[in-house]
Amino acid sequence: MRVVILGPPGAGKGTQAARLSEHLDIPHIATGDIFRQAASEDTDLGRRLRETMDSGELVPDEFTNELVKDRLARPDAQDGFILDGYPRNVEQAEALDEILDELGTKVSYVIKLMVRGDDIIARLAGRRVCPKCGAVYHMETHPPADDERCDNDGTALVRREDDSEETTRRRLDVYGQQTRPLYDFYRERGKLIEMDALGTTDEVFERLLGTLGR
Ligand code: ADP
Ligand code: AMP
């Protein structure tokens, strides 16, 4: 199964994609996670990525598309994958079609996670991540067992730099201007499935499995 998960920042894409990946035993490919990893390195590329991500803008398409092309060509992605955070604009969606064409396949489902504006703000405001393993928590809805430490490795959790109020505002603008048009793109191709993403993460996951017929 080849799934694309779309939705605004904070909708729960990463949370659901991680669970689905485990459930279906196919890789969870999140461009944001890949970029965050590269941005944590003390290299020119790392610094440039950090600047872009901290500003809330998108990383250039050409670079992003190349990265996804390489990732989707790897052996573990041949039987399926879950894309989270990609595509982010129509150019990337067209690039994805080309990449999959070359691999002789296509996307099975495009899921749009729908949430209210208030929920987006609340989800982003409480989000904490483990800088070591990337696990995602929420201080109210999905807290770690031990006060502000990762359940997997005990590392102190941090707030994402781009979850600041100012960058969040810009990310939501970028989402509205560049990512929203993707819904029409996939709707016109008969691929878009709109799904309510309100409720607990368990409820949303059950709904997602039902939507995918699993
Ligand atoms: P995205 O990948 O779409 O940016 P995340 O999966 O990182 O979103 O989720 C954003 C925040 O909201 C995280 O702190 C996560 O723990 C929390 N969250 C995710 N899904 C839900 C949900 N259904 N109910 C409440 N909080 C949620
Ligand atoms: P995310 O983890 O999906 O919220 O992404 C965090 C940041 O990484 C975004 O604000 C962008 O700067 C960058 N990013 C992630 N995915 C993409 C993408 N597909 N295209 C361009 N930039 C991206």
Q: What are 45-80's pLDDT values in tens digits?
A: 999 999 999 999 999 999 999 999 999 999 999 999
Spatial contact of 111 and 193, defined as CB atoms under 8 Å apart: yes
Residue 102 has what pLDDT?
Answer: 97
Tokens of 55: 């500003």
Q: Which atom of ligand 2 is nearest to the CA of 174?
A: 10
Residue 11, ligand 1, Cβ within 6 A: yes
**Spacing, Cα 87 to ligand 2 middle (Å):** 9
Residue 137 has what pLDDT?
Answer: 97
Cis peptide before 87 (omega within 30 of 0): yes
Residue 211 has what pLDDT?
Answer: 95
- The C-alpha atoms of residue 12 and residue 62 are separated, in whole angstroms, by 26
Residues with Cβ within 8 Å of residue 5, at least 6 apart in sequence: 13, 16, 17, 82, 83, 84, 111, 113
Spatial contact of 135 and 158, defined as CB atoms under 8 Å apart: no
- State the chain's mean pLDDT as an integer: 97
Q: Which atom of ligand 1 is nearest to the CA of 18?
A: 6
147 has a pLDDT exceeding 90? no
- The C-alpha atoms of residue 152 and residue 68 are separated, in whole angstroms, by 27
Q: Which atom of ligand 1 is nearest to the CA of 137?
A: 16
Ligand nearest to the CA of 197: 1
Nearest protein Cα to ligand 1, atom 14? 127
pLDDT band at 145 (very low <50, low <70, confident <90, very high): very high
207 has a pLDDT exceeding 90? yes
What is the pLDDT averaged over residues 140-161? 95
Query: Catalytic amino acids?
Result: 13, 88, 127, 160, 171
Taking the whole predicted model, whether its pTM rises above 0.85 is answered as yes
Burial 120-129 (b: 16+ CB within 10 A, else e): bebbbebbbb
CA-based nearest residue to 9, from 175, 205, 195, 200: 175
User: pLDDT, tens digit, for every residue of 84-102?
Assistant: 999 999 999 999 999 999 9
**Spacing, Cα 180 to ligand 2 middle (Å):** 14
Long-range CB contacts (< 8 A, 24+ apart) of 143-148?
A: none
Residue 190 has what pLDDT?
Answer: 95
DSSP string, 156-206: BPB--GGGSHHHHHHHHHHIIIIITHHHHHHHHTT-EEEEE--S-HHHHHH
Residue 53, ligand 2, Cβ within 6 A: yes
Residue 214 has what pLDDT?
Answer: 86
**Edge-to-edge strands, sheet with 192-196:** 28-30, 81-84, 2-6, 109-114, 192-196
Residue 123 has what pLDDT?
Answer: 95
Residue 76 has what pLDDT?
Answer: 98
* Helix or strand holding residue 81 (H, E): strand 81-84
**Residue 34: what are its φ and ψ, rounded to 5°?**
-65, -45
Ligand nearest to the CA of 11: 1
- The C-alpha atoms of residue 149 and residue 67 are separated, in whole angstroms, by 31
